[in-house]
């Protein structure tokens, strides 16, 4: 096992090594408020269980977590519904882009997994059905997990997404047609846009995901309770579905469960060892951060540590 003190050195070396890739790709602009983000930001933060944290670059700058929020909402939904959740959605990789509509029609309104948008909309619907104030519950949960009470929604990003959510609206109406949304479409879309708008830093994300790295103890945070196998399942779904139609490639290159967002964030977990968050807004054609994947690929290679 690598000594913790080497992690900092490894991270700094990697950040230098991957510079040739720094100009590849572009930040997301289909949500207008994300188009104005500085594409050259880069941060990384490692939270080691029982060890020292390591960090580099813009690790303290907040950015839009986007689809990384789907891990938090899945944890809440699993805690509320248990195994019943899987009556409404699957746990198989989709092999399709995050916002694909086509598979949902073929499969009669049952989303393949909780991380594609169709599945995340069903999960959002579950939260709305169970919780008096889902928006407040969600943000309190994320604040407690990250240990940062200042974590918040961005109204600007949420509005911007909601105003242009034509594809997500199509997905939501198709779900509604198949009676797989129980709340009004508009409420689900608004709540989904809100949770995607949450802004966190790499430090906040790495600290929040420590709870998923603690894979040998039950999860009990802000009223969200999961068994050891519940935590295992969330990590398993991150492993197989966290990067949509690039999930196989991420698994191949990095070898850790992880989740991406179109804000350029990626968070990955090494069960029983660490959680790591990277942020670089330039994305590849799958909507995943190019430098984020590079950094994590180098990190698990240099440390010779992955789940495989």
Which of 117, 180, 235, 275: binder of ligand DON (CB under 6 A)? Answer: 117
Judged by CB under 6 A, which stretch of 5-13, 40-48, 256-264, 274-282 contacts ligand DON? Answer: 256-264
Beta carbons of 64 and 196 less than 8 angstroms apart: yes
- Residue 152: beta bridge partners? 199
Q: Establish if 99 lies at the interface with ligand DON (CB under 6 A).
A: yes
Does the footprint of ligand DON cover residue 251 (CB under 6 A)? no
Query: Judged by CB under 6 A, which of 287, 293, 297, 299 binds ligand DON?
Result: 287
Q: In sequence order, what are the beta bridge partners of 45?
A: 55, 277
- Return d(Cα 262, Cα 45) in angstroms, integer: 18
The length of the chain, given as a count of residues = 308
The number of angstroms, rounded, from the C-alpha of 274 to the middle of its chain's C-alpha atoms is: 16
67 near ligand DON, rule: CB under 6 A: yes
Cα distance between residue 140 and residue 207, in whole Å: 15
* CA separation for the pair 227, 216 (Å, rounded): 9
User: Looking at beta carbons only, is 48 or 74 nearer to ligand DON?
Assistant: 74
Q: How far is the CB of 204 from ligand DON (least distance, A)?
A: 17
Task: Please say which residue, 46 or 196, places its beta carbon nearer to ligand DON.
Answer: 196
Binding range to ligand DON, per CB under 6 A, among 15-23, 38-46, 257-265, 292-300? 257-265
Which residues are CB-contacts of 17 (< 8 A; sequence separation ≥ 6)? 298
Binding segment for ligand DON among 48-56, 182-190, 231-239, 255-263 (CB under 6 A)? Answer: 255-263
Cβ atoms 275, 206 nearer than 8 A: yes
The nearest distance, CB 115 to ligand DON, in angstroms, is: 8
**Which residue in this structure is represented by tokens 């995607």?**
196
Residue 79: HSE in the Cβ half-sphere, 13 Å Cα cutoff: 21
* Residue 205 is a binding residue for ligand DON (CB under 6 A): no
Q: Is 73 in the site for ligand DON (CB under 6 A)?
A: no
Among 196, 211, 278, 295, which residue sits at the site for ligand DON (rule: CB under 6 A)? 196
Which residue in the set 66, 146, 160, 180 belongs to the binding site for ligand DON (CB under 6 A)?
Answer: 66
- Here's the x/- map for ligand DON, 133-172, by CB under 6 A: it reads as ----------------------------x------x----
Q: How many residues make contact with ligand DON (CB under 6 A)?
A: 13
DSSP three-state, residue 266: strand
Report the nearest approach of ligand DON to the CB of residue 124 (Å): 11
Question: Closest CB to ligand DON among 262 and 277?
Answer: 262
Q: Report CA Rg, the chain.
A: 18
In Å, how far are 132, 208, 213 from 135, measured between CA atoms? Answer: 9, 18, 25
Beta bridge partners of 26: 283
Residue ranges that bind ligand DON, judged by CB under 6 A: 66-67, 98-99, 117, 161, 168, 196, 260-262, 287-288
């Amino acid at each position: 096992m690598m000594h913790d003190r080497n992690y900092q050195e490894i991270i700094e070396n990697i950040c230098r090594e991957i510079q040739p890739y720094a100009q590849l790709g572009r930040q997301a602009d289909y949500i207008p408020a994300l188009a104005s983000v500085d594409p050259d930001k880069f941060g990384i933060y490692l939270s080691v269980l029982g060890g020292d944290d390591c960090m580099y670059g813009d690790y303290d700058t907040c950015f839009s977590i986007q689809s990384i929020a789907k891990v938090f909402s899945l944890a809440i939904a699993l805690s509320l519904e248990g195994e019943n959740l899987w009556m409404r959605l699957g746990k198989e990789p989709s092999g399709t882009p995050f916002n694909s509509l086509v598979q949902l029609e073929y499969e009669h309104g049952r989303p393949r997994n909780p991380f594609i948008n169709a599945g995340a909309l069903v999960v959002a619907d579950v939260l709305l059905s169970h919780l008096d104030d889902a928006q407040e519950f969600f943000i309190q949960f994320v604040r407690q997990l990250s240990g940062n009470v200042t974590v918040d929604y961005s109204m600007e990003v949420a509005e911007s997404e909601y105003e242009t959510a034509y594809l997500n609206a199509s997905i939501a109406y198709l779900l509604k047609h198949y009676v797989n949304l129980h709340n009004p479409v508009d409420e689900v879309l608004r709540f989904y846009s809100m949770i995607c708008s949450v802004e966190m830093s790499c430090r906040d994300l790495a600290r929040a995901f420590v709870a998923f790295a603690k894979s040998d103890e039950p999860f009990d945070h802000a009223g969200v309770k999961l068994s050891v196998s519940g935590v295992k399942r969330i990590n398993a779904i991150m492993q197989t579905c966290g990067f949509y139609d690039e999930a196989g490639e991420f698994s191949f290159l990095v070898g850790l469960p992880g989740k991406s967002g179109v804000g350029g964030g990626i968070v990955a977990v090494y069960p029983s060892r660490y959680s790591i968050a990277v942020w670089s807004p330039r994305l590849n054609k799958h909507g995943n951060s190019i430098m984020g994947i590079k950094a994590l690929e180098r990190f698990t290679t240099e440390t010779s540590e992955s789940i495989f």
